[in-house]
């Protein structure tokens, strides 16, 4: 169970006008702007729920995920995952979660994927029998048998993403955070990833929070949608709540962004 | 502990993959070692009485230094850490149930050991075959050799802790370029990597020996060649223990501060 209440996070960003004169001026006097990445975010998610966390670029999605996964410390607010505050009990907290950052990689670049998996086994202190069970299950459902012996750098993006997802699930996390897991994937890989996430949620009861810009991901996966814009929660409901007629999901969401002016 | 050993193992396996880099490094080390020895021999022949080390000890010092270059110099830092900080992949490092300092310390040490193991054997074997006074001579006795090994481990602990401070500062600056350049040059000079410390002017030498930099390569290399012994050796080894403890404490302090304010940009 995830409980988030009035979460705030501000980033300091240096700003200046274009041009040489302005650049020189900025050497001596710098103007900062404070960006409210999260401006009082609250929501709660029950065990086993699958939630799509959407919003335009820069809305605060990734910041929320980073706070939930214990990487970022917020300025204020309450956030508990399974009763623990991520940034205060980082090590205990991260044992029970899995994270996939679609734009980053957790696999060791130069060694076969299986070496990265073996290392994760030690990092998470996964017992040998559990590890082999999970590995064979993940290998089968994500179709990894041919690629785990290849160095990560020689995999295609789709193959790598399947390995990334497997890497995040080796330790049987109760909660899975997926930050743009389908970014840059081809149609076949996208379908495979979506299908896998859905099955994981159904078979294991894993709570899934998913951020994405691909509305078909949301259509396929999320029973509930949280819309964030300019650091505030704008809408929290089901897909049917926001859909007004037969129009395409992308148009519906674009319409929403316009309506909330984000 | 198993976790940290696992990091060590994975990093070690990875280090074994870079064969070409090892061969290129070897060629460079032979060339550099030969050049340095010839230069010092020229100094020695001009006025042997004012040369602070014996010529065979000097040659042993240089060859061991070349053999253990990636183990004991600042340049042996693991570039992987700089790239994960710059790229933001560090996010994944932060969501692991391990102590970041311990994880990076063991990985960084593994990088040094695996790089050095690949390279040191050929350098040692070939240098040992060279005729005196140009070659690597055996240590005076077994006890000296064992003390050398102990001091080598301490030197690794110190240099690795210093490297950790550079990684932790990179958390703040994001780019490693400036810090690394400064750290490598200062450390190379004050650890006797460019000119061995016995060549430093009296007074200044005693001061430099108190600095943490001299607690790295300087101590084991001089113990091996017999240049450093007796109470002076004990003093410098105790300083190694002292600096290892202080530098690890400082590194952990910076780590705690930086992790609280870390922002993984983008994405």
Q: Tell me the DSSP string of chain A.
A: -EEEEEEEEEEEEEE--SSHHHHHHHHH--EEEEEEEEEEEEEEE-TT-EEEEE-STTSSHHHHHHHHTTSS--SEEEEEETTB-TTTSHHHHHHTEEEEETTS--S-TTSBHHHHHHHHHHHTT--HHHHHHHHHHHHHHTT-TTTTTSBGGGS-HHHHHHHHHHHHHTT--SEEEEESTTTT--HHHHHHHHHHHHHHHHHH--EEEEE-S-HHHHHHH-SEEEEEETTEEEEEEEHHHH--SSS-HHHHHHHHHHHTT-
The answer to whether the Cβ–Cβ distance between A62 and B92 falls below 8 Å is no
d(CA A167, CA A107): 8
Q: Is the pLDDT of residue B38 over 90?
A: yes
Q: Is the pLDDT of residue A155 over 70?
A: yes
The answer to which of A80-84, A210-214, B17-21 has the lowest mean pLDDT is: B17-21
d(CA B222, CA B215): 11
Q: Which two tokens stand for residue A236?
A: 């929290």
DSSP helix/strand/coil, B83: helix
In this structure, are strands A224-229 and A232-238 parallel, antiparallel, or unpaired? antiparallel
More confident residue, A17 or A147: A147
What's the gap in Å between the CA of B95 and the closest CA on chain A? 6
Average pLDDT rounded to a whole number, residues B213-226 = 94
* Nearest alpha-carbon partner for B147 in B236, B64, B76: B236
User: How high is the ipTM of this complex?
Assistant: 0.80
Helix (H) or strand (E) holding B213: none
Q: Is the pLDDT of residue A240 over 90?
A: no
- Cβ–Cβ contact B84 with A under 8 A: no
Model confidence band, residue B18 (pLDDT cutoffs 50, 70, 90): confident
* Residues above pLDDT 90, as percent of chain A: 54
Q: Is the pLDDT of residue A246 over 70?
A: no
**B138: exposed, middle or buried (Cβ count in 10 Å: 0-12, 13-18, 19+):** exposed
Model confidence band, residue B263 (pLDDT cutoffs 50, 70, 90): low
More confident residue, A201 or B13: A201
The answer to whether the Cβ–Cβ distance between A69 and B14 falls below 8 Å is no
pLDDT given at position A173: 94
What's the gap in Å between the CA of A106 and the closest CA on chain B? 6
The answer to whether the Cβ–Cβ distance between B264 and A72 falls below 8 Å is yes
More confident residue, A107 or B3: A107
Q: What count of residues does chain B have?
A: 267
pLDDT given at position A18: 84
Model confidence band, residue A244 (pLDDT cutoffs 50, 70, 90): low
Average pLDDT rounded to a whole number, residues A161-184 = 93
pLDDT given at position B207: 95
DSSP state of B47: -
Q: Which residues pair with A9 in a beta bridge?
A: A38
Q: What does pTM read for this prediction?
A: 0.85
Q: Is the pLDDT of residue A190 over 60?
A: yes
- Cβ–Cβ contact B83 with A under 8 A: no
pLDDT given at position A201: 93
The answer to whether the Cβ–Cβ distance between A115 and B13 falls below 8 Å is yes
What's the gap in Å between the CA of B88 and the closest CA on chain A? 7
pLDDT given at position A103: 86
Q: Is the pLDDT of residue B25 over 90?
A: no
Name the fold adopted by A47-259. Answer: Rossmann fold (3.40.50)
Q: Is the pLDDT of residue A245 over 70?
A: no
* Residues above pLDDT 70, as percent of chain B: 98
Taking CA atoms, A253 is separated from A20, A55, A211, A214, A261, in Å, by: 41, 9, 14, 11, 12
Please check whether residue A163 is in contact with residue A144, taking contact to mean a CB–CB distance below 8 angstroms: yes
Chain B residue nearest residue A61, CA to CA: B267
Mean pLDDT of chain B: 90
What's the gap in Å between the CA of A227 and the closest CA on chain B? 17
Average pLDDT rounded to a whole number, residues B38-49 = 92
Partner-chain residue, chosen from B6, B87, B91, that has the shortest CB–CB distance to A122 = B6
More confident residue, B250 or A214: B250
* Nearest alpha-carbon partner for A157 in A105, A87, A216: A105
- Cβ–Cβ contact B129 with A under 8 A: no
The answer to whether the Cβ–Cβ distance between A99 and B95 falls below 8 Å is yes
Q: Is the pLDDT of residue A184 over 50?
A: yes
Model confidence band, residue B79 (pLDDT cutoffs 50, 70, 90): confident
* Nearest alpha-carbon partner for B85 in B256, B248, B266: B266
pLDDT given at position B267: 46
Q: Is the pLDDT of residue A47 over 60?
A: yes
The answer to whether the Cβ–Cβ distance between B95 and A119 falls below 8 Å is no
Q: Give pLDDT tens digits for B125-169.
A: 999 999 988 999 999 899 999 999 999 999 999 999 999 999 999
Q: Where are chain A's structural domains?
A: 47-259
* Residues above pLDDT 70, as percent of chain A: 98
Q: Give pLDDT tens digits for A87-127.
A: 889 899 999 999 999 888 899 888 899 999 999 999 999 99
């Amino acid at each position: 169970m995830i409980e988030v209440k009035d979460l705030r996070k501000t980033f300091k960003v240096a700003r200046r006008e274009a041009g040489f004169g302005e650049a020189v001026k900025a050497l001596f006097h710098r103007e900062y702007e404070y960006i409210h990445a999260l401006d009082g975010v609250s929501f709660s998610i029950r065990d086993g729920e699958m939630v799509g966390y959407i919003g335009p670029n820069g809305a605060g999605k990734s910041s929320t995920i980073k706070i939930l996964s214990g990487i970022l410390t917020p300025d204020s607010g309450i956030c508990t995952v399974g009763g623990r505050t991520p940034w205060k009990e980082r090590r205990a907290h991260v044992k029970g979660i899995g994270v996939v950052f679609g734009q980053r990689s957790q696999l060791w670049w130069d060694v076969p994927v299986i070496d990265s998996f073996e290392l994760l086994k030690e990092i998470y202190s996964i017992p040998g029998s559990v590890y082999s069970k999970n590995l064979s299950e993940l290998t089968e459902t994500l179709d990894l048998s041919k690629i785990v012996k290849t160095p990560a750098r020689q995999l295609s993006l789709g193959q790598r993403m399947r390995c990334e997802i497997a890497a995040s699930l080796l330790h049987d996390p109760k909660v899975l955070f997926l930050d743009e897991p389908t970014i840059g994937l081809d149609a076949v890989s996208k379908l495979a990833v979506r299908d896998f996430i859905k099955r994981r949620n159904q078979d294991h009861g894993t709570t899934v929070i998913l951020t994405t810009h691909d509305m078909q991901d949301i259509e396929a996966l999320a029973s509930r949608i949280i819309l964030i814009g300019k650091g505030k929660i704008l809408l929290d409901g089901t897909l049917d709540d926001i859909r007004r007629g037969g129009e395409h999901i992308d148009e519906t969401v674009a319409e929403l962004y316009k309506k909330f002016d984000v | 502990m198993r976790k940290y050993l696992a990091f060590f193992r994975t990093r070690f396996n990875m280090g074994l993959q870079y064969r070409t880099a090892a061969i290129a490094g070897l060629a460079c080390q032979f060339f550099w070692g030969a050049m340095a020895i010839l230069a010092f021999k020229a100094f020695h022949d001009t006025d042997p009485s004012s040369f602070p080390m014996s010529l065979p000890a000097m040659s042993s010092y240089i060859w061991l230094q070349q053999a253990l270059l990636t183990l004991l110099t600042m340049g042996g830092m693991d570039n992987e850490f700089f790239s994960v900080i710059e790229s933001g992949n560090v996010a994944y490092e932060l969501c692991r149930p391990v102590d970041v300092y311990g994880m990076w310390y063991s990985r960084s040490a593994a990088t040094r050991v695996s790089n050095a193991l690949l390279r040191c054997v050929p350098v040692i074997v070939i240098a040992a075959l060279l005729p005196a006074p140009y070659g690597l001579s055996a240590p005076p006795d077994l006890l000296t050799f064992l003390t050398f090994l102990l001091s080598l481990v301490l030197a690794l602990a110190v240099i690795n802790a210093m490297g950790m401070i550079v990684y932790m500062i990179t958390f703040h600056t994001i780019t490693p370029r400036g810090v690394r350049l400064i750290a490598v040059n200062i450390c190379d000079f004050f650890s006797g990597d460019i000119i061995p410390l016995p060549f430093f002017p009296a007074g200044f030498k005693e001061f430099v020996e108190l600095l943490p930099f001299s607690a790295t390569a300087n101590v084991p290399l001089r113990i091996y060649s017999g240049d450093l012994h007796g109470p002076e050796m004990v003093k410098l080894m105790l300083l190694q223990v002292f600096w290892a403890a202080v530098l690890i404490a400082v590194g952990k302090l910076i780590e705690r501060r930086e992790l609280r304010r870390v922002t993984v940009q983008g994405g």
